[in-house]
Every structure is written in structure tokens, then in C-alpha cells.
Amino acid sequence: MSTDASAQALRALSQFVISKSSMGETLLRVSEITTAALPAANMAGISLLGEHGRPTTGVFTDPQAPEIDASQYESGRGPCLDSWRTRTVIRLPDIGSAASTYPEFTATALALGVGSSLSLPLLAGDDAIGALNLYARAPDGFTEADESAGTLLAGAAAIVLANASAYWQATQLGEQLSQAMQSRAIIEQAKGILMARSPQLSADDAFDLLRKASQRENVKLRDIAQRIVNRRGEPAHR
């Protein structure tokens, strides 16, 4: 791999604008940038924790990559899992020679025409957030230079992914807080309307009416309140 290609990839990762991309787009772009910088890599995948805390391939550049990764997840052993667990780079120049250590991975990779692999841990500070898995068709596809450059790229990629995860979590939290505030405003409006219609009602009494209507109709309390607000110009039923 050329020094220029490595520098360009590192620059692209450092200049990545997270707010303009979804988490899925960020994952794909990171894998594409890294693969482009390592020409020997015919495909790439990023292993992350999925639902129920199990490893999953969050994104891939070739549909065969997740199939190779899945053989590792199912057996609980493979270079990408070991790279993730031990926080070290694992380069397999000849996948066939790793059959005794990773039998399931080796069988799947060879069946799909993959001859060598490079697994890089994604380290963000003290956290190992996943692994970047690169696969080459030819044996001895990755050199020591690729390993060194890949380590730098994986470090930069991990920072991008950690920042993206934090950004989207904060964005979702902000949206939830905004929705909660909007719901509260609607509920307060509805309480005011009920109290205006029936001056003997206290704020607690009005809220209790909304709550009981919500339970009776199996409708969210906010929707009950919104219905009352929408009908505030209508005459009260007697």
C-alpha cells in the first residue's frame, strides 16, 4: 500500500462529517475508505455488538463478507473475534493453514474463494468497540506494511464510529426529550380546557380524567389530550 493512499484515507476519516450521515452510512463509508487504502482487500466487514449483546456484521462491502463472519459468530472462534477480544491485529497469510485453530471460519472462507485475511481491532480509548475484517482472494494478500497501515486506519475509524454512536445517541435522546416536552404541553392544555369547562375540577382532577380515559380507551394519554385540544372550539356535551 502506498504512503499517499494511507495519508488520503486518514485525512478522509479525520474530516468525516458525522451529522451529514446516518449510522449505517457512516459504517459503510468507513469500510469503503479503509478498503480503498488497502488494494489487496477484495471485501471488508465491520463486526460490532448487535441485539442481545451478540456480535454482528454491521456493514459490509461484499455480500460474502457477512457469511464469512457468521461462521465465526456461530462457532465463537475466528480471527475477527480474537482480534476484538485480544485487541491485537491478526493477519492470516494463508487461511488454509489456520484450519486447526479456526476450522469453521477456514472452511467457509476457502469455500468462498478467500485466501488471506487481516483482522484489526477497533479501539476507541480503553474500549474495543469491534473489529474491521479485510479479506483477499489471493494468499499472502496482506503485507506487514498493510498491517501497520491498517492499524492506523482502524484507530482513526474507531474514533469516527465512537463519535457517530455518541452523536446519534444524543440526537435520539434530544428527540425523545423534545417529544416529552411537547406531550406535556398538550396535556397541560387539555387539563386547562377541562378545568375551564368544569370550574370545580382541580388540576389533579383534570389529569385523573385524562388518565382514566386513556385506560378506558387503551389510547395514549397524549392522544387523549390532543383530541380534547383539537375539539376545544366545540361546545361541551351535556
pLDDT of residue 102: 95
Confidence of residue 238 (pLDDT cuts 50, 70, 90): very low
Q: Where are the domains of the chain?
A: 3-171, 173-230
- Write phi, then psi, for 160 (nearest 5 degrees): -60, -45
Instruction: Using pLDDT thresholds of 50, 70 and 90, give the confidence band for residue 233.
Output: low
158, 131 Cβ separation under 8 angstroms: no
Q: Which CATH architecture has domain 3-171?
A: 2-Layer Sandwich (3.30)
Residue predicted with more confidence, 157 or 16? 157
Q: Other C-beta atoms within 10 Å of 193: how many? A: 17
Whether 106 has a pLDDT exceeding 90, the answer reads yes
Mean pLDDT, range 95-110, rounded to an integer: 94
Say if 3-171 and 173-230 have the same CATH topology: no
As beta bridge partners, residue 46 has 59, 132
pLDDT attached to residue 126: 75
- DSSP-assigned beta bridge partners for residue 128: 123
Q: Can you tell me the distance from the alpha carbon of 158 to that of 52, in angstroms, rounded to the nearest whole number?
A: 22
Contacts of 85-90 with CB under 8 Å at 24 or more apart are 85/128, 86/121, 87/121, 87/123, 87/128, 88/121, 89/118, 89/119, 89/120, 89/121, 89/147, 89/150, 89/151, 90/117, 90/118, 90/119
Q: Give the residue-averaged pLDDT of 3-23.
A: 63
Name the average pLDDT for the chain: 80
Q: Are the C-beta atoms of residues 21 and 31 closer than 8 Å to each other?
A: no
Decide the pairing of beta strands 55-60 and 116-124: unpaired
User: Could you tell me the pLDDT band of residue 128, with boundaries at 50, 70 and 90?
Assistant: confident
Per-residue pLDDT at 77: 93
Q: Is the pTM of this model over 0.85?
A: no
- pLDDT, residue 51, reads 66
Predicted pLDDT of residue 155: 74
CATH code of 173-230, in short, is 1.10.10.10
